[in-house]
Amino acid sequence: MPETSFSEAVDRALALAMTRDPRVVVLGEDVRLQRRGAFVRFGASRVLDAPISESALLGTALGAAMAGLRPVVEIYFVDFIGVALDQLLNHAAKLEAFTGGRWQAPLVVRAACGGGYGDAGQHQQSLWGLLAGVPGLSVVVPSTPADAAGLLLAAIDGPGPVVFLEHKLLSQQWLDYLGGASREGVQFDVPAAGARGEVGEPPVPVPLGVAALRRQGGDLALVSLGVGVHRCLEAAELLEDEGVWAAVLDLRSVAPLDVQAIVELGRRTGRVLVVDEDYTRGGLSGEVAAVLAEHGVRSAYARVTTEETIPYARALEDAVLPNVERIMAAAHALLVNAPGKRG
């Protein structure tokens, strides 16, 4: 299988979807430059630059989806969805329920998310927990090029609406666009296995709501998604040096959530550590704990999350975002506090 970057993988999946299905259109601010490959190949009628009017843009995409198109609508950063939330929350998410399943909106909302490059707390949020809490919305967060391509294909072909979040640290395209490539001495902790990887030709769809076990291990389950998966894999290596076998589960999708995979792994390991770049409260990490409790899984539980507004200064930011040191500390505490099932 050929190796490509995360951004190329997304571009390829998009091109494939646009080739197969003339109903797929791309709408968003600056997309004729950002997605210039698709613009040149498919022309002006299928790649439309939007005014800075996210509310109208999301609503337009919804209407178009209801009337038979399959829009991929881009919101620069997920943070900016704030100005258009009504269209997702009260409209896109409600359609199928309000019509008793008779009407669906096959709509993909594409947005960049995540931190680690010093853009501060208004441009680096994750927000997948907030969005996934609304019934009727699917939310996916790929951690590899293959999953990025596969989840995008499944999202475009599915019944929608799906929020597709691309972590900026995985996307060379985004880091370049934001100016990262044009200066020296700036280092971002980009996980190599997330930024580049093998992608099928053609890319293979990845069904929504199916987690991937990235690493086997019986002592401890690290449950994560997006860039967090790579931080977990790094921590798992270090834990192995200490004789601890940690499994790493990549959820890939926040909604629908792969409850079965979480429950099974929780039962098997007896210790669950959720690593979630999103905020602590009211989100994914708490949801995982609730799922375990609801299924009577008696596992020890801890979480490493973003507990406050992401600060601008790189050193402060590094400490606030889930990092390997914090994962290791939380893992050690779990092993000490719940020594029972070790080995």
Partner 1 sequence: MSSTGTEQLQALYLQMCRIRWTEQALALLWRRGLASGEMHLGIGEEAVVAGVVGNLDDRDAMALDYRSTPALVARGVDLTSILLEVVGSPSGLCGGRGGHMHLMSREHLVAASGVVGAPGPLACGFGLAARTKGKGGVAVAFFGDGAVNEGMLMEALNLAAAWRLPVVFVCKDNRWAVTTRSSELTGGGLRRRLGAFGMPLDRVDGRDVESVAAAAARAVARGRAGRGPTVLLASCPRPEGHFLGDPLVRLTSAVGELAAEVRPLVAELVVRPGAPLAQRLSAVKGIGGKAAAVAVHAPARTSDPLRRAARRLPEATSRELAVVARREVETALGRVLGEAVSRA
Ligand X SMILES: Cc1ncc(C[n+]2csc(CCOP(=O)(O)OP(=O)(O)O)c2C)c(N)n1
DSSP state of 115: -
3-state secondary structure of 45: coil
Nearer to ligand X, 50 or 275 (CB): 50
123 is catalytic: yes
Catalytic pick from 91, 123, 167, 230?
123
Rounded Cα distance between 239 and 232, Å, is: 10
**DSSP three-state, residue 255:** strand
Binding residues (CB under 6 A) for ligand X: these are 29, 52, 54, 76, 80, 83
Quickly count: other Cβ atoms within 10 Å of residue 241's Cβ: 7
Q: If contact means CB under 5 to 8 A according to the sort of partner, which of partner 1, ligand X, none does residue 282 touch?
A: none
HSE of 178, CA atoms in CB hemisphere, 13 A: 19
Closest to ligand X by CB, 52 vs 290, is: 52
Site residue total, partner 1 (CB under 8 A): 54
User: Between residue 164 and residue 193, which ones bind partner 1 under the rule CB under 8 A?
Assistant: 176-186
Closest CA to 151 of 227, 208, 197, 81: 208
Of 1, 3, 21, 52, the one binding partner 1 by CB under 8 A:
52
Contact between 82 and partner 1 per CB under 8 A: yes
Q: Which stretch binds partner 1 (CB under 8 A): 93-101, 121-129, 156-164, 275-283?
A: 121-129
- 305 with 323: CB under 8 angstroms? no
Identity of the residue, 40 or 290, whose beta carbon is nearer to partner 1 in the bound complex: 40
Question: Smaller CB distance to ligand X: residue 77 or 301?
Answer: 77
Give dist(CA 259, CA 282) in Å, integer.
17
Preceding omega of 322 cis (within 30 degrees of 0): no
What are the structure tokens assigned to 1, written together?
Answer: 């299988």
Q: Residue 121: which of partner 1, ligand X, none does it interact with, CB under 5 to 8 A by kind?
A: partner 1
Among partner 1, ligand X, none, residue 51 binds (CB under 5-8 Å by kind): partner 1
CA distance 215 to 232: 10
Question: Is the separation of the CB atoms in 79 and 123 below 8 Å?
Answer: yes
Among 33, 290, 293, 333, which residue sits at the site for partner 1 (rule: CB under 8 A)? 33
Instruction: For the CB of residue 120, give the shortest distance to ligand X in the complex, in Å.
Output: 12
| Contact pattern from residue 303 through residue 332 relative to partner 1, giving x for each residue in contact according to CB under 8 A and a dash for the rest | ------x-xxxxxx----------------
Nearest CA to 141 out of 121, 113, 115 is that of 113
Contact by Cβ (8 Å): 11, 38: yes
Binding to partner 1 by CB under 8 A, coded x per residue (else -) over 260-299, reads ----------------------------------------
Of 257, 233, 225, the closest CA to residue 327 belongs to 233
State the residues that interact with partner 1 by CB under 8 A: 19, 29-30, 32-34, 36-37, 39-47, 49-56, 79-80, 82-83, 117-123, 176-186, 309, 311-316
Catalytic positions: 123
